[in-house]
Each structure stands twice: as C-alpha cells, then as structure tokens.
Chain A
Amino acid sequence: MIFRVINIVVIGALILAAAYVYRIKFDSTVQAEHLAKLRGEVRRERDRIAALRAEWGELDNPGRIEILAKRFLKLKPIAPTQFDSLDRLPERPPDDARAANDDPIGGMIGNLDPPEAVTGTIPAPAPAATPPDQPSRAPSPPSGALNQ
C-alpha cells in the first residue's frame, strides 16, 4: 500500500519535472533564436558601418577634395609667410575703438585723457599708482560699453 502511494507520488513528480524541463527548454530555444537574430542584426549593422566608412573614405579622399576645392573655392595653398606666432601679435586696439557706439573715432578722441593707455612701449602702471576711484583701463574686461 505504502509502495503504491510512493509510486503515484513519484510519477506525479516525474510529470511535473518533465513539464518544467520542457518549459525551460522551450524558453531557452526562444532566447537562443532571439540571440541569434540580434547577433545577425549587429553583424549587419557592422557591415553597413564598414561600408559607410569605406564610402566616407572615398568621399574624403584628399585627391577628390583637392579637385573639388580647385573647382569651387577660391582658396590657395597656405604660404609660410601667412603663419605667425601668437607673441608677435600686435597689441589689442584700445577698447574705445571697439566700443559699441556709432562714432568709434569720436569715442577715441573723447577718451584720450586717461593716461593709462598701454601699448608695446608704454607699460602698464604699477597697480599701487592707479587712483582707486578711476577704473583701470589697460586690463579692462572685454565686454561692456566703456564710453564714459
């Protein structure tokens, strides 16, 4: 009697296990197919990227660019005299000349009196010498209306 019960229990367990295994197996097959599909897609994308890169390389070829530039642009090859170093750059023009008003020259004349204009030959005055109430002009901020 006890054996019969055990047999029934075991058969039930077997069926359950089989069903469970079947489900796992089925899921894994679905997953594997999905994976294969994604891999194929990745590979196709990679192939397309490679093809586009090759095409870009062809379009970006210096010889082709040169022909197009000669035909459509007025640019010429750069000459050594066109290079210069930053420290040989001339001093920035006085801020008055760049001020955003409609009469820059008038503005410059009107502002001639501050003596602290700094050029290549006139060095900036020592900070202590600057009167505290007068805004220093030489290292002035690059923006803002400075026409007083």
Chain B
Amino acid sequence: MSATAETIQAVPAEPWRRRLLRSLLYGRNSNRAAKARARVGLAIVAFAIVYCIIAARLVMFAAVSDGRVAHRVVSGDAIATARPEILDSNGEVLATDVRVPSLYAEPRRLIDVDEAVELLTADLPDLDATELRERLSSRRGFVWLKRDITPEQQREIYHQGLPGIGFLNENKRDYPNGAEVSHLLGRVDIDNQGTAGIEKWLDNQGLAALHLAGLATDRLQTPVQLAVDLRVQHALRDELIKARDKFHAIAAAGLVLNVRTGEIVAMVSEPDYDPNIPHNPRDQSLINRLTTGVYEMGSTFKAFTVAMALDSGKVTLKSSFDAHNPLHYGKFDIHDFEPMQRSLSVPEIFTYSSNIGAARIAMSMGVDAHKAFLRKMGQLDRLRTELESAEPIVPKRWSELNTITIAFGHGLSVAPLQAVMGVGALMNGGILIPPTFLKRTEAEAQALGHRVIKPETSAMMRYLMRLNVEKGTASKADVAGYYIGGKTGTADKVVFGRYSKTRVLTDFIAVLPADQPRYVLLIMLDEPKALPETHGFTTSGWNAVPTGGAVVARIAPLLGIEPRLDLPPADQQILASMKESR
C-alpha cells in the first residue's frame, strides 16, 4: 500500500516530456517503482538460490573427501588383481596372493646412468648389464627393470638412494606346493586371470566380472576350500612317479574319491607342471588325463556289466555262462586272456576277467537295457564338475557288437573320473553322486545323489571286488588290514586305427574297505613296459595293481581308515552280513 502512495507523490515531479516518453513506451497506467521492487525481490531470490547451491556443494565436498583420501592410497600400488586364497581340506594353503615388489626406472629423471648400472647389477646379479644400460639410456618415461624381486633386494636398492629408480607392488599368484597339486588347481596368466583348473572355475564364478569392474584389488575375499587333502595328494603322486619310472610308462594318473560325499580327495596326472613357472599351455603331454582325456577303460567296465545283470534280478551270483569257445560275432572273435574252456559262474567271470562271459552277460540283457544302464550310470554324457571335462566317445550306431565289446570295456571311451564316479555308485550302496572338488558334507551329497542300483546289488558288487583281490587278478593289491576290493583293466590302445597288442593302458579301481566302503581309488598307467619281474606281462595285475597296493598302504592311515586284521573272507564278511540285514 505504501508503494502506491509514494508513486502518487512522485508523479507530479516528473517533467512533461519524460512523462510523454514513458506513456509512449510503457502505456499510461504502468507503475514503474512497483515493478522495480518486484525485480529486486526476484534478484534476491535468485542470488539466495545460487548461494544455497554453493553451500550445499561445500557440505558435500567436505563430507565426501574423507573417503576419497583413503581410496587413493589403496589403489596406488595395486596393479594385478587379487584372487581368493585356495585351501586344502585341512586348511593348508594351496594358492595365495603375495605382494611382490617390481623394480622400474624413469630414465629421464636419472642423473648418472653408469653409477645406476653399477649399483643395480651389484644387487641383482642376474640382470644383464648391457641391456640394463640400454634401457636406462633410452629417453622413455617408464621402463620395467625387473619384475618380482625379493624384499631384501628391494631394501638394498632403496638404501642406495638412486634418483629415478622406484618400486611398484604387484599381486602375484603363489603356489607353495609347486607341482604337487598342479592339474587340480590349474594356473593363472600374467594378469592373474585363471586359465585352467579350479582357477578358471573361480573366474567363471563371477571373479572375472569383479576384476573388470576393478573391485577385486584387495585380499578381503573369502578363501575357497577344496576337498583335496595335500598329504594324500603327495603320497599318491609320489607312488605314481615311482610307478611311472619303474614301468617306463608315458603317463600315470591316480584319483581318490570319497564315495559317501563325492569329494575328490586327491587327483594326480603325471606328467604335471609347476604352476609357478609359466610355460606353454598347449603342450599336449601335460593334459589332465583324468578329466580332459577319454580312454577305453578295459575290464574295469565289466563291473558295470555285472552290476547291470545282478540289478535286473535276471542274473544271480549263481548263474553261469558258457565260455567254452571264443565268441564269434560276424567276422569278429572274442577271446579270453586266459581261456578256461568251461562254463563260468558270475563271480568266476569277474575274477578271471572273462571277456566271453562279460559279453554273454551283456547279450542276455539286450542292447537297449545295456545302453540305458550305462546312461543311468553317467557314462554316456559329459561329466559336469568344477573342472572342464571331455565328452565321452559313444558309438553313433549302437549295435549288438558294440554292446559285446563295451561289456568288457572296449568301444566306449570315457573320462576316467566318470568311470570312477560310476564305480563309486556301485560301491556306496547304489547312490550316484556327482563328484566335486569342493568340500561337501554327506548330507549335501545325499541330497544331490540319486539311486541307480539296489543296495543288495551294491553289496554283491563289493563281494565280487573283494573276491577279485582275494583270489583274482588283483591279488597283488591285498594290503593286510584294509580289506581292499578291486577290479583290474587292461585296454589295448588304438594305434593307427587298429588295436595294438603291445601298447596297452592298464588301470585298477579299488574300494577300501570293501565291507564298509569309504574311498574309491583309481590307478592308471599309460603304456607300461614289461619288466623281468613281471615275467614279460604288461597286464594291469602286474603294474597298476601293485602300485594301487602301495598307494593304499600309504594313504589309508592318512584317510583315517582303521586297519582290521583277521577279517573273514568276503563271502562271510560281506554276503553273510547282507543276508542278516534283510
């Protein structure tokens, strides 16, 4: 109201010419003073908003900057990304990250090249002086001089106080046990990305994405605990190396599987490598034979044939099959290694490892039943574990001839781990449990597994396995006190498209103890040679079986298996208790 009053007073003071101009410009009734006040008010509001924004930004900067300071320090020296620790089942370190200093130089800031070369070569004797001089004389801003130096060397060089010489800390993957657990763990490349084994699996579990986001630089990641037992692993590897050298085999492999949980307690594939030392990843001799190789397992597959027949109920332990003559099928003849030339009962077929008998058992079951059983046992599909594994080689057209040969382990190539999983199911009461490299409890395993054969069939199979050690082909594995059961296998290798008579792959699958199965052991030798002490034989019973016995004697105490001496033979210990429990 007062504004209008002032305007009214001010009006007469205006000269007429200006009044005319104003009325021409703005119209007759406009009140300029009121407008000016409104404009001033608007300006005040605008400035107030601007100052509020400035104040708010100041508060924000003050609040956020604390975090920034800490973050900058952390990321200052981390180059290669961090990975979680890998532990064995007892908590021993299998793989860990260590910070290693690396030496670099900024040649432009260097004052005296000769002095620097002299002092550095004194501390790092393996550094080439001429190459070092060349690098330091270049006009580049940054050159690596040596990756991965020891803390002592770092201290020495630091105390020399050379300008333009500095250190950067890098994460480096360290495998304290060297080649011991190599195939299982795999390895990482120079950027700390997993390229094989469990390391690669870790990356596929989302670690790679974390790396890309730049988040996995600190070591605050939960360790990964594996099922492998370092002590068992070492004992197995040691015995396999001995066996490989003794029999001049080109390769040896071994596996220990806990049949109750599906945990892989040890896995060795010789030759192996030291994951700390980078080398050519395409080297074919260094493949993991247990997962990425597929093999015809030979007579060990008779365990599946016999189990199928017993589980169907059509065949009992007392059934017998004709093995008088070699089996003719088309233009093929199936022979036995040691022809008996009579009818053989099922236990005899198993313990003499009769090809004719196994073939006749499979024929009596029919092609479709055979195929369905092997599929149920997981032998025809690719096995899924943490490690990559190969697809089994299954005949495209599965005729009766295929069934005959597969009955004794030829004509179907599977990954050995797969066969061990199947035998584990035959032993543990009939539950097929997918194997794992990670720690797992029995309850988890039972939830994952499913029944494939009856418990009685499993007991009969354990009886047969034990019988085979008591008086069959696997007698050299009978370590007193551990009640081992086992099945041997000797497969002729395919050389230039034909089965070779001299080059064989021998394997031995053992269960211990046979009456209360806890572990299944696989020993596999590739092309073992005959020795004087094997009397010229290269069959499994002369090489893989004694190796298996030696391994069991060493690992059973580590696995906590109590030795029991003076146990009765298998027909009393296993079959009799089976009948009692019914």
Given the known interface contacts A80-B479, A80-B553, the answer about A54 and B234 at a Cβ–Cβ threshold of 8 Å is no
Q: How far is the CB of A76 from chain B (nearest CB, A)?
A: 12
- Which among A61-69, A114-122, A134-142 touches the partner chain? A61-69
| Bound complex: CA A43 to CA B174 (Å) | 18
A interface residue numbers (CB < 8 A to B): 25, 28-29, 31-33, 35-36, 39-40, 43, 46-47, 50-51, 53-58, 60-63, 66, 77-81, 83, 85
- Other A-B contacts than A28-B66, A39-B70, 12 sampled, CB-CB below 8 A, are A32-B65, A35-B70, A40-B74, A47-B99, A50-B96, A50-B99, A53-B96, A57-B92, A57-B93, A57-B176, A63-B180, A85-B562
**Do the beta carbons of A57 and B481 come within 8 Å of each other?**
no
Q: Which 10 A-B pairs have the closest CB atoms?
A: A57-B176, A80-B481, A80-B563, A62-B234, A57-B93, A32-B66, A58-B176, A47-B99, A36-B70, A54-B174
Binary contact track B62-86/A, C-beta < 8 Å → 1, others 0: 1001100110011000000000010
A-B contact count (CB 8 A): 93
Asked if B377 CB lies within 8 Å of chain A CBs, one says no
Q: How far is the CB of B124 from chain A (nearest CB, A)?
A: 20
Asked if B518 CB lies within 8 Å of chain A CBs, one says no
Contact of B480 among A56, A58, A80 (CB under 8 A): A80
| Bound complex: CA A78 to CA B560 (Å) | 13
Contact of A61 among B65, B97, B180 (CB under 8 A): B180
| Bound complex: CA A96 to CA B176 (Å) | 54
In the complex, which residues of chain B have a beta carbon less than 8 angstroms from the beta carbon of A51? 98-99
Smallest CB gap from A35: residue in B: B70
Q: How far is the CB of A30 from chain B (nearest CB, A)?
A: 11
| Bound complex: CA A56 to CA B174 (Å) | 12
Q: How far is the CB of B504 from chain A (nearest CB, A)?
A: 30
B interface residue numbers (CB < 8 A to A): 62, 65-66, 69-70, 73-74, 85, 92-94, 96-99, 169, 174, 176-178, 180, 218-219, 230-231, 234-235, 238, 479-482, 553-554, 556-557, 562-563, 565
| Bound complex: CA A137 to CA B69 (Å) | 77
In the complex, which residues of chain A have a beta carbon less than 8 angstroms from the beta carbon of B177? 57-58, 61, 63
| Bound complex: CA A32 to CA B92 (Å) | 37
**Do the beta carbons of B69 and A54 come within 8 Å of each other?**
no
In the complex, which residues of chain B have a beta carbon less than 8 angstroms from the beta carbon of A58? 176-177
Smallest CB gap from A28: residue in B: B66
In the complex, which residues of chain A have a beta carbon less than 8 angstroms from the beta carbon of B176? 54-58, 60-61
In the complex, which residues of chain B have a beta carbon less than 8 angstroms from the beta carbon of A28? 62, 66
| Bound complex: CA A54 to CA B95 (Å) | 8
In the complex, which residues of chain B have a beta carbon less than 8 angstroms from the beta carbon of A31? 66
In the complex, which residues of chain A have a beta carbon less than 8 angstroms from the beta carbon of B93? 53-54, 56-57
In the complex, which residues of chain A have a beta carbon less than 8 angstroms from the beta carbon of B565? 80-81
Q: How far is the CB of B259 from chain A (nearest CB, A)?
A: 21
Q: How far is the CB of A33 from chain B (nearest CB, A)?
A: 7
Smallest CB gap from A51: residue in B: B98
| Bound complex: CA A81 to CA B234 (Å) | 23
In the complex, which residues of chain A have a beta carbon less than 8 angstroms from the beta carbon of B556? 80
Q: How far is the CB of A131 from chain B (nearest CB, A)?
A: 43
Most chain B beta-carbon neighbours within 10 Å: one of A56, A58, A62: A62
| Bound complex: CA A25 to CA B169 (Å) | 33
Smallest CB gap from B177: residue in A: A61
In the complex, which residues of chain A have a beta carbon less than 8 angstroms from the beta carbon of B230? 62
In the complex, which residues of chain B have a beta carbon less than 8 angstroms from the beta carbon of A61? 176-178, 180, 234
Contact of A80 among B65, B96, B178, B482 (CB under 8 A): B482
Smallest CB gap from B58: residue in A: A21
| Bound complex: CA A63 to CA B92 (Å) | 14
| Bound complex: CA A66 to CA B98 (Å) | 26
Q: How far is the CB of B75 from chain A (nearest CB, A)?
A: 11
In the complex, which residues of chain A have a beta carbon less than 8 angstroms from the beta carbon of B563? 80-81, 83
| Bound complex: CA A40 to CA B178 (Å) | 30
